[in-house]
Amino acid sequence: MKVVSIRDIHIGKGIPKVVVPLIGRTIEELLLEIKSLQTNFEIIEWRADFLEGIEDITKVKKTLSTLREVLYPTPLLFTFRTHREGGNKIIEDSYYETLLVEVMKTKEVDLIDVELFSPKVTEIMQAAKGTDLFIIMSNHDFEKTPAKEEIIWRLKRMQELDAHIPKIAVMPNNPTDVLTLLDATYTMYSLYADRPIITMAMASTGVISRLAGEVFGSAATFGSGVASSAPGQIPAVDLKYILGLIHTKQE
């Protein structure tokens, strides 16, 4: 199993890493979010789809540079979540590609999120070749939990596309859906994965999947800072504490 190492953070080894999203609309709000964090977390995600003026590449780069300076050496994940996968803003597919490629060129981020079902996924992955970036390839289903076989297929497809970390989030409509997600996670982890994977079931029904990832093979989880970026996120401080308890019992 490959491990994704960013400075002293090793994704895929030991306790699942906690990712905390920043969702401020302005640089001022983003800096206040950072200041309010109660402890250090392994990875910070900038959810750029919340930024006012995201269509201005110059503004994006300036904001990113400020975040990088303030947060270093904490690994920084850049995410523009498209509207079709639960994001905050609608943009053209061509601009999605342009945005991600321009962010890659800045060398100000450590990881970048690329959506599996983006029409531009091939072009974006091609642009990422030769860079030092780690790619988290993602898929979010806010309507349902796909069948176990479909979840595994999507994760395997991300691996085939050379994503460093495949990630999937699904919406459970009942506890059985959560079991489906966890079963698919363990099967992928134990039989097919040669790199870290991240999986979760959303909403209150799926909270257990955010806590028990280490048991089933998920290498990271997302916890809220000032506010959550997806249904079912719990405060990152509480998340770190619970993960620590589970990890201790696993040893």
Q: Which residues have a catalytic role annotated?
A: 140, 167
Q: Which two tokens stand for residue 120?
A: 């531009």
The whole-angstrom separation of Cα 249 and Cα 251 is 5
DSSP string, the chain: ---EEETTEEETSSSPEEEEEE--SSHHHHHHHHHH--S--SEEEEEGGGSTTTT-HHHHHHHHHHHHHHHTTS-EEEE--BGGGT-SB---HHHHHHHHHHHHHHT--SEEEEETT-TTHHHHHHHHTTSSPEEEEEEEESS----HHHHHHHHHHHHHTT-SEEEEEE--SSHHHHHHHHHHHHHIIIII-SS-BEEEE-TGGGHHHHHSHHHHTB-EEE-BSSS-SSTT--BHHHHHHHHHHHHHHH-
Query: What are the Cα distances from residue 4, in Å, to 31, 132, 168?
Result: 27, 12, 18
